Chains A and B, each alone.
Chain A
Amino acid sequence: MKVELRSMEAALLLDGRGSAWSGIEETVLPLSPSPIALTESVSPYMAKTSGHGKIKKIHVRMTHNGRMFSMRLSWDDPEKDNEISDLDEFSDAVSIMFPLANGATAFTMGSADKPVNAWLWKAGNQEPFDVFAEGYATSTRRPAKISGLKASDSHRDGTWVVVLQRPMSVGGQEMVQIEPGTDTSIAIAVWEGSNKERSAQKAVSGEFKSVKVDA
């Protein structure tokens, strides 16, 4: 996978179905149910559940213009779950995670000395969250403004298209820095609301995958 350099207005890319995205290489990542038994010590109740991981693949496109990193995520989902109208309903969501230290693992959401940073979009929410975690049960959702994270979404013809966008270089602590010419790594998770997926009940792309960032 790679992040293609395109000198494009970042604002145009917020239209996930716009022509700005055409021609940018698309990778299809297979997804599988998260290894939820690993969460036994975090929540034995959650660890014993099954049937999660309903979304089986996700289409990924990434680009940057030297200042802004943009990512377009799309996946088939006939049921749009963006409104919680009952107490047993959950919304669709997608997250992209980056390691903040060498050796951080995506399955565990990092660990005490090997943290991770994630960007979390939830259907129906005004803004995405900027997440910091050092292992299961430690994640902290921070407001998008701390890193300048933006999101847009569109559900049409049974498909979600979500764009996540953030300045490549950010001043704050505990946030991934993306540099042209330097590889980064990503992992992706998708939650299917109609399947009552939340927390570790999700579909994941596996361990961190290396991504080339064009210079």
Chain B
Amino acid sequence: MNETSSKQNLKASTRQLATVIDLNKCMGCQSCTVACKNLWTQRPGTEHMRWANVGTYPGRGYPRDWQSKGGGYDEDGNSKPGKLINLVEAGDNFQFNHDEVFNQQKGQSAHLQPSTSKGNKPEWGYNWDEDQTSGDWPNAFFFYLPRKCNHCSNAPCIDACSRNAISKREDGIVLIDQERCTGHRHCVEACPYGMVYYNPSTGRSEKCIECFPRVEQSIAPACNRQCVGRTRAYGYLDDKRSQVYKLIYEWKVALPLHPEYGTEPNVYYVPPMSTFSYDDEGRLTDEMRIPMDVLEEYFGPVVNGALETLVTERQKKKDGESSELMDILISRHWEDRFAEFTNEPI
């Protein structure tokens, strides 16, 4: 078999599922994180994994410093080297001294405290820098960024796997074949989003499976469905009736994260309209508090146009006019967000 053509075959799909997340509505509650963890990562060796996760940005993120880990492709489509992720960076699996505090009658002297899975005092962990702001008072800012595997159309993990164990399904979901995987972790290095994790118990790598057993029964993935903020839309990119299609292609307000990584990711974000900033005299201006160059780092220069559209449409609503875009984002009926994936998860 010609290996290059086999990689193309492994990346091919007829359709592509996609998620849109509105960062204006995400409140960092971690319901997506917990929904995912309860379903998929409570097995031995997966304790450190958060296939779905939310971080405070700008920040070091999860896994720690993933935006400088490398991987993905350069402008010419050449693979870029990336790094492995260690246990601390991956959020670890903290242990707590419950027994000491609750059962050994040391309530007055022993305090509940975490230790790392190696028994040390934690220096970093999942969501460690929660709500830490950037910028200077009184114009401090941050936004929450929920993440999961992007099920990229040009998935570097597929290219990286020396055993051809990773492939795309017909619906665009990227899966690691747990039979073929032997845990070489080239995929961990290659994913610029840091969304592949090694399971030391099985000796294989794992990642978000896009809740495919649910999707096959027209049930939205748990992270999307369990989002209490109604921030998420889900569906096929080519489904013109879906909110996914409308937000990405018609309104052009849903943008891929770090498109410069060259992987064609399929989680899209409605960028955050931030509150207004104060000038030196303490007067409110009409400048958004999150600097545009910060947002451009995440979403590229197209974020300017997207924010302009969002502000314009929001103003229409404020002025008592109608706005299809705002109605989509308000999401009065949750079923509207998930195209055909509205079955109950029972």
Contacts and interface: CB of A to CB of B under 8 A. Distances in A.
Number of chain B interface residues as a range: 35 or more
Interface in B282-305: none
B87 A46 contact: no
A200 interface: yes
B19 to A, nearest CB: 26
B3 A87 contact: no
Given A49-B81, A87-B200, A137 B164 contact: yes
Q: Is the interface of A mostly helix, strand, loop or mixed?
A: loop
Q: Is the interface of B mostly helix, strand, loop or mixed?
A: loop
B7 interface: yes
B275 to A, nearest CB: 39
B6 to A, nearest CB: 8
A42 interface: yes
Interface residues of A, number: 25
A177 to B, nearest CB: 26
Given A88-B85, A199-B184, A48 B79 contact: yes
Interface in A56-106: 84-88
Contacts of B21: none
Contact of A136 (B3, B90, B156, B159): B3
B160 A46 contact: yes
B4 A46 contact: no
Contact of A87 (B82, B86, B156, B186): B86
B200 A84 contact: yes
A198 interface: yes
B197 interface: yes
Interface in B146-178: 156, 159-164
Contacts of B233: none
A27 interface: no
Contacts of A44: 78-79, 159-160
Interface in B167-199: 182-186, 188-190, 197-198
A46 B200 contact: no
- A-B CB proximity, top 5 nearest: A41-B3, A88-B84, A44-B79, A45-B160, A199-B162
Interface of B: 1-4, 6-7, 48, 71, 78-79, 81-82, 84-87, 90, 118, 156, 159-164, 182-186, 188-190, 197-198, 200, 203
Interface of A: 39, 41-46, 48-49, 84-88, 112, 135-139, 141, 196, 198-200
